[in-house]
Amino acid sequence: MDLKLAGKRALVTGSSSGIGEGIARMLAAEGCAVIVHGRDRARSEAVAREIGATGVAIGDLATDAGADAVAQAAGAVDILVNNAGGAAGTSAMGWTEVDEAGWIGTYQLNVIAAARMIRRLLPAMKQAGWGRIINIASAAATQPIALGPDYGAAKAAMLNMTVSLAKALGPCGVTANSISPGMVLTPAVAAWLTGARHTLGWGDISLEEAERRMAREITPVAVGRAGRVEEIAHIACMIASPASGYMTGANVRVDGGQVQSIN
């Protein structure tokens, strides 16, 4: 299926690794002029070369100066994927471990970082009369767990801000939607799972078996496995395409049935 993305210009934040890299790679394969973003120039430039991206934008989106630098490097874009995020500490931290600085830091990394880029890049989209804003949230936004409360709350805020933005945009030709991935087997998750086998008492089982056990025992997933980066990227490309013009304010769960509720 031709998604008619050829000639569109896209910025994917946090695209020097993981889900962001996968989305940037697939958008480039669909003919988009992609700007790879990261904080590590060498890593970002390596990914850009590998996927045939148009350029790179380097900056820390948790700061105004970093967001300014990224917006300037990206220029006017048709598609903005707010993928950069994470926890200021670790996602395994509990309520007593996450201090006030951690809450603020995680909110900065996710919600404020996305808001910064929207504020800087939306005017050009509205002027052009066409645009796609995609915020990458998480299954933790709608199915909270005991650990990482700052991360889940920040991702929940991203869902709220996406709907608010969609209503504010109205019929200007720019849409705003979110994607909520479940557990995805990124290189970082694979490395964690490989190391956690012994901690969890599973012994020297293969990564494949560890993944299946994780999907049964730790984070129950209906399809019995973690997702793949490409499965998130496929949905992102569809939402980024002209075919999604009647879709705005939506949250698309790509979680293998992990979230046990109605969307």
What are the sequence ranges of the domains in the chain?
A: 9-184+228-254, 185-226
Distance CA 53, CA 29 (A): 9
Q: Count each helix (H run) and each strand (E run) in the chain, helices first.
A: 9, 7
| CATH superfamily of the 9-184+228-254 domain | NAD(P)-binding Rossmann-like Domain (3.40.50.720)
Q: How many residues are present in the chain?
A: 263
**Of 27, 166, 18, whose CA–CA distance to 84 is shortest?**
18
Give 84's pLDDT tier (boundaries 50, 70, 90): very high
What pLDDT does 145 receive? 87
CA distance 77 to 211: 37
Residues 113 and 232 sit within 8 Å (Cβ to Cβ):
no
Nearest to 137 by CA among 160, 169, 120, 121: 160
**Whole-angstrom distance, CA of residue 119 vs CA of residue 136:** 17
Report the percentage of the chain scoring pLDDT > 70.
Answer: 98
**pLDDT grade for 198, boundaries at 50, 70 and 90:** confident
- pLDDT value of position 184: 95
Phi then psi dihedrals of residue 28, to 5 deg: -65, -40
Catalytic-labelled residue, pool 81, 83, 151, 186: 151
What gap in Å lies between CA 90 and CA 98, rounded to an integer? 9
Rounded Cα gap, residues 215 and 219, in angstroms: 5
Query: What pLDDT, on a 0 to 100 scale, did the predictor assign at position 147?
Result: 86
The CA distances from residue 27 to 38, 137, 139, 183, in Å, are 17, 19, 23, 22
Q: Kindly give the residue spans of alpha helices, DSSP state H, lying in 64-186.
A: 64-74, 100-107, 113-128, 149-169
Is 151 designated active site? yes
Tell me: the pLDDT tens digits for 86-115? 988 776 678 989 899 999 999 999 999 999
pLDDT in tens, 122-150: 999 999 999 999 999 999 999 998 888 99
Cα(234)–Cα(240) distance, integer angstroms: 10
User: Do residues 238 and 252 lie in contact, with contact meaning Cβ atoms separated by under 8 Å?
Assistant: no
pLDDT of residue 262: 80
Q: Contact 227/184 with Cβ under 8 angstroms?
A: yes
